[in-house]
């Protein structure tokens, strides 16, 4: 990819920044060739990756190096785009929001600093991946489980900071963060919570600060660069039981939510319950063309045939309970009785006890895997995908309303409907996965129009996304309109106070520093 | 292991290969594949062990049961090869230059890898290990 300089930065200043950065991290860790820029582009971009081009990447190995690079960025007015491992697939990968930003790749900072089985937490740097943490736990034979996202190639901290979700009792990953260290946009270094006191051993155990609590202000944020954090982990349970219910019809999602959400809110179910539609199973069985060979959306009659042929319900609830066997049995009785009110067929039951086999794609038991990314082969080609991800209250009425709206819009665009709901308690995360061929310009253009329409129509109905691709960070922030977009105004006041040069992640989630206010909504 | 036995059985009957959608065989997926510990020390120093570096840096997807292995197994079988060729370590037709090109430029759903993912000298070692065709 050709070089896109940051706004108002001359080639000479840009070179001076890279030379100075090489003095900090070593010349091999300053990457600025055309091939390097390609490697940091959004490989699944809906359109040309040159819409979100990085100018270079710098990879520091320590907190002190991060601080030095941030000071240099202020000096040269060259904005940085920090990434943990740069695997934010479907949301922009490692690419920056603003053209010409320098990716600050924290992948080399990959130390596991603490792994404590007694109090069930770890302290990690941003470059630690789910695979790394899982293997460290296995090697030390510690009774700890992870919570992993669908595709676990990425960073433990990166995923939590991006508000990623998993499918265990610890599935709301941002909530597991406890005690953060962050480099501020002026190069200062802060520790939150009890970590604000030098050497305090409760840093990663008590989740609040004395005074305002800033931990989550560093998530989906450009207020600082997180360089380490505590993450709470699940103690390995004494047993676990999976109850698998096939739910026949699309409309059944209403009673499913009304049955499960109260049990989750009451604490009887600990897990984030993932309810994928049938297509979530089909994508692992082959390619779309094996089942429907036309470019048009798979029609309802064919969907019904496929469900019958492959013995699938429209939805599947694979609900997992964790704990002492007697407790799990008692909980399972409550869940089964509740589900029986609407579903005669009993669930399949899969017990697990320590020492039993766990397969390598068991995400509800915290095993990291990249296999769910296999869905990208459904369409074939370069495996492009984007998720439209609104949050709705966890009631049947809200969920059905959301499903009907998305389903109609997606059908109007003649695209397959591939939805899931994850019940996190009082809310459900709805992900509508859109898979497309990146090399088909007409299809990409259609997907972009579809995405715009989904955001607008969903906002009209009063719901918003919890996370989005780079290209829609501004439109989604626009939907948060209370009191003249007060949340954005507040975010930008704080941003400008902390980052007068706007050097940390300008435009992240629609928060633009004054220095780059002219870039808002803009594309390269 | 079971999946490979099944896949091999499928191969012996060409007609059923054509009739069935090329999905994964039934049965539970293989267990998690532990990668070796990443070698300590300077990642810019040449001379690392290619097999270890391959497993550390490519093992997310290219060990038994991995995402890349699953997709490649399907592809290789459709080309009439045995399913074990889905594992890159079993391939005899790869060249070192080809390995480097795919790693840096990506291929299909696989994104190109940055020099933080795998450094140039680590990639040299991986390419020597996988590039059995030269």
Q: Is A4 inside any structural domain?
A: no
Give yes or no: A467 in active site. Answer: yes
Tell me the C-alpha distance between B112 and B55, whole Å: 17
> Chain B residues with CB inside 8 Å of A36's CB?
114-115
Burial of A76 (0-12, 13-18, 19+ CB in 10 A): buried
Asked whether the predicted pLDDT for residue B1 surpasses 70, the reply is no
Q: Is A119 inside any structural domain?
A: yes
Q: Which of residues 237-296 of A touch B (CB under 8 A)?
A: 284-287, 290-291
CATH for A484: 1.10.45.10
Residue B112: pLDDT band with limits 50, 70, 90: very high
Asked whether the predicted pLDDT for residue B37 surpasses 90, the reply is yes
Closest Cα in chain B, distance from residue A208 (Å):
34
Residue A524: pLDDT band with limits 50, 70, 90: very low
**Same structural domain, A283 and A400:** yes
**Same structural domain, A225 and A129:** yes
**Same structural domain, A116 and A101:** no
**Tokens at A444, concatenated:** 């990409």
Task: Report the DSSP pairing between strands A390-393 and A144-145.
Answer: unpaired
Expressed as residue numbers, the domain containing A171 is 112-235
Percent of chain A topping pLDDT 70: 99
Q: What is the ipTM of this complex?
A: 0.93
Asked whether the predicted pLDDT for residue B15 surpasses 60, the reply is no
Place of tokens 């009673």: A255
pLDDT confidence of residue B26? 61
Q: Is A47 inside any structural domain?
A: yes
Contact B34 A39 (CB under 8 A): no
Is A153's Cβ below 8 Å from some Cβ in B? yes
**Tokens at A420, concatenated:** 């899931």
**Same structural domain, A389 and A490:** no
> Of A451, A467, A483, which residue sits at a domain end?
A467
**Same structural domain, A205 and A263:** no
pLDDT tens digits, residue range A176-187?
999 999 999 999
The three state secondary structure string of A233-288 is CEECCCEEEEEEEEECCHHHHHHHHHHHHHHHHHCCCCCCEEEEECHHHHCCCCCH
Residue A99: pLDDT band with limits 50, 70, 90: very high
Residues in chain B: 134
pLDDT confidence of residue B13? 36
pLDDT tens digits, residue range A227-263?
999 999 999 999 999 999 999 999 999 999 999 999 9
Decide which of A46 and A174 is more confident.
A174
Q: Out of A38, A135, A290, whose CB is closest to B34?
A: A135
The three state secondary structure string of chain B is CHHHHHHHHHHCCHHHHHHCCCCCCCCCCCCCCCCCCCCCCCCCCCCCCHHHHHHHHHHHHHCCCCHHHHHHHHHHHHCCCCHHHHCHHHCCCCCHHHHHHHHHHCECCECCCCCCCCCHHHHHHHHHHHCCCC
pLDDT confidence of residue A374? 81
**Tokens at B21, concatenated:** 């959608």
A346 C-beta neighbours (distance < 10 Å), count? 11
Of residues A180, A189, A146, the one with CA closest to residue A161: A180
Q: Is A1 inside any structural domain?
A: no
What is the enclosing helix (H) or strand (E) of A176?
helix A173-176
pLDDT tens digits, residue range A54-86?
999 999 999 999 999 999 999 999 999 999 999
Residue A523: pLDDT band with limits 50, 70, 90: low
> Of A79, A105, A131, which residue sits at a domain end?
A105
Residue B25: pLDDT band with limits 50, 70, 90: low
Asked whether the predicted pLDDT for residue A339 surpasses 90, the reply is yes
Asked whether the predicted pLDDT for residue A144 surpasses 70, the reply is yes
pLDDT confidence of residue A380? 76
Q: Out of B37, B67, B109, whose CB is closest to A371?
A: B67
Q: How many domains does chain A contain in total?
A: 4
pLDDT tens digits, residue range A283-324?
878 889 999 999 899 999 999 999 999 999 999 999 999 999
Mean per-residue pLDDT of chain A: 95
**Same structural domain, A333 and A423:** yes
Asked whether the predicted pLDDT for residue A378 surpasses 90, the reply is no
Q: Out of A57, A370, A373, whose CB is closest to B114?
A: A57
- Mean pLDDT along residues B39-44: 96
pLDDT tens digits, residue range A401-424?
999 999 999 999 999 999 999 999
Asked whether the predicted pLDDT for residue B44 surpasses 50, the reply is yes
pLDDT tens digits, residue range A424-475?
999 999 999 998 888 889 999 999 999 999 999 999 999 999 999 999 999 9
**Same structural domain, A99 and A219:** no
**Same structural domain, A305 and A453:** yes
- Mean pLDDT along residues B62-66: 96
Domain locations along chain B = 44-130
Of the residues A40, A44, A91, A167, only one is catalytic, namely A91
Decide which of A258 and B71 is more confident.
A258
Residue A375: pLDDT band with limits 50, 70, 90: confident
The chain B residue lying nearest A28, using CA atoms, is B44
pLDDT confidence of residue B30? 93
Give yes or no: A322 in active site. Answer: no
Asked whether the predicted pLDDT for residue B120 surpasses 90, the reply is yes
Q: Is A5 inside any structural domain?
A: no
Asked whether the predicted pLDDT for residue A126 surpasses 50, the reply is yes
**Same structural domain, A363 and A452:** yes
CATH class held by domain B44-130: mainly alpha
Asked whether the predicted pLDDT for residue B131 surpasses 90, the reply is yes
Asked whether the predicted pLDDT for residue A373 surpasses 90, the reply is no
> Chain A residues with CB inside 8 Å of B34's CB?
135, 138-139
**Same structural domain, A334 and A463:** yes
**Helices marked H in A267-369 — which ranges?**
279-282, 288-291, 300-309, 325-340
Give yes or no: A382 in active site. Answer: no
pLDDT confidence of residue B69? 96
- Mean pLDDT along residues A35-42: 95
pLDDT confidence of residue A365? 97
**Same structural domain, A295 and A383:** yes
Dmax over Cα atoms in chain A, in whole Å?
A: 72
Mean per-residue pLDDT of chain B: 84
pLDDT confidence of residue A324? 98
Of residues A348, A462, A461, A457, the one with CA closest to residue A413: A457
Is A230's Cβ below 8 Å from some Cβ in B? no
pLDDT confidence of residue B8? 35
**Same structural domain, A198 and A156:** yes
Q: How far is CA B44 from CA A24, A32, B41, B59, B117, in A?
A: 16, 17, 9, 20, 12
The chain A residue lying nearest B102, using CA atoms, is A39
């Amino acid at each position: 990819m050709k070089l896109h300089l940051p706004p108002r930065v001359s080639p000479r200043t840009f070179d001076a920044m890279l030379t100075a950065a090489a003095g900090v991290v070593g010349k091999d860790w300053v990457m600025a060739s055309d091939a390097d820029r390609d490697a940091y582009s959004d490989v699944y971009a809906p359109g040309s990756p040159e819409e979100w081009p990085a100018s270079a990447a710098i990879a520091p190995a320590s907190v002190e190096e991060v601080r030095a690079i941030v000071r240099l960025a202020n000096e040269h007015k060259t904005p940085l785009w920090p990434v943990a491992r740069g695997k934010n697939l479907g949301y922009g990968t490692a690419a920056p929001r603003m053209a010409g930003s320098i990716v600050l790749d924290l992948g080399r900072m990959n130390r596991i600093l603490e792994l404590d089985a007694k109090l069930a937490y770890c302290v990690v740097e941003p470059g630690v991946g789910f695979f790394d943490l899982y293997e460290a736990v296995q090697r030390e034979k510690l009774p700890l489980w992870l919570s992993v996202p669908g595709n676990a190639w990425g960073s433990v901290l990166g995923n939590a900071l991006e508000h990623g979700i998993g499918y265990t009792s610890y599935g709301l990953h941002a909530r597991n963060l406890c005690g953060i260290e962050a480099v501020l946009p002026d190069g200062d270094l802060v520790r939150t919570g009890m970590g604000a006191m030098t050497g305090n051993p409760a840093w990663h155990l008590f989740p609040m600060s004395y005074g305002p609590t800033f931990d989550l202000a560093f998530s989906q944020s450009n207020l600082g660069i997180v360089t380490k954090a505590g993450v709470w982990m699940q103690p390995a349970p004494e047993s676990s039981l999976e109850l698998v219910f096939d739910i026949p019809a699309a409309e059944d999602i209403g009673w499913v939510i009304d049955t499960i959400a109260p049990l989750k809110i009451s604490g009887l179910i600990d897990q984030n319950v993932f309810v994928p539609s049938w297509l979530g199973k089909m994508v692992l069985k082959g390619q779309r063309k094996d089942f429907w060979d036309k470019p048009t959306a798979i029609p309802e009659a064919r969907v019904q045939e496929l469900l019958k042929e492959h013995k699938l319900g429209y939805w599947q609830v694979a609900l997992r309970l964790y704990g002492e066997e007697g407790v799990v049995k008692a909980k399972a009785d409550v869940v089964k009785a509740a589900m029986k009110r609407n579903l005669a067929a009993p669930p399949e039951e899969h017990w697990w006890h320590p020492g039993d086999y766990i397969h390598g794609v068991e995400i509800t038991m915290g095993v990291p895997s990249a296999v769910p990314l296999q869905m990208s082969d459904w369409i074939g080609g370069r495996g492009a995908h984007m998720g439209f991800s609104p949050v709705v209250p966890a009631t049947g009425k809200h969920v059905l309303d959301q499903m009907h709206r998305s389903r109609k819009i997606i059908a109007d665009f003649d695209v397959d409907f591939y939805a899931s709901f994850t019940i996190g308690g009082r809310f459900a995360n709805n992900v509508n996965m859109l898979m497309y061929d990146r090399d088909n310009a007409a299809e990409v253009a259609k997907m972009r129009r579809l995405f715009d329409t989904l955001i607008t129509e969903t906002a009209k109905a009063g719901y918003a996304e919890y996370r989005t691709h780079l290209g829609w960070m501004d439109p989604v922030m626009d939907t948060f309109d209370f009191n003249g977009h007060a949340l954005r105004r507040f975010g930008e006041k704080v941003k400008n106070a902390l980052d007068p040069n706007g050097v940390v992640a300008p435009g992240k989630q629609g928060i633009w520093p004054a220095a780059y206010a002219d870039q808002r909504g803009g594309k390269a | 292991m079971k999946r490979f036995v099944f896949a091999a059985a499928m191969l012996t009957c060409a007609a059923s290969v054509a009739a069935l959608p090329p999905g994964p065989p039934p049965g539970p997926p293989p267990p998690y594949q532990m990668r070796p510990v990443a070698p300590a020390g300077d990642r810019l120093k040449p001379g690392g062990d290619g097999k270890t570096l391959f497993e550390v840096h490519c093992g997310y997807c290219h060990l038994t049961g991995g995402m890349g292995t699953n997709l490649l197994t399907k592809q290789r079988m459709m080309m009439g090869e045995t399913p074990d060729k889905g594992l890159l370590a079993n391939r005899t037709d790869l060249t070192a230059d080809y390995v480097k090109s795919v790693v840096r430029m990506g291929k299909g759903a696989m994104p190109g890898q940055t020099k933080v993912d795998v450094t140039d000298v680590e990639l040299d070692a991986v390419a020597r290990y996988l590039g059995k065709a030269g």
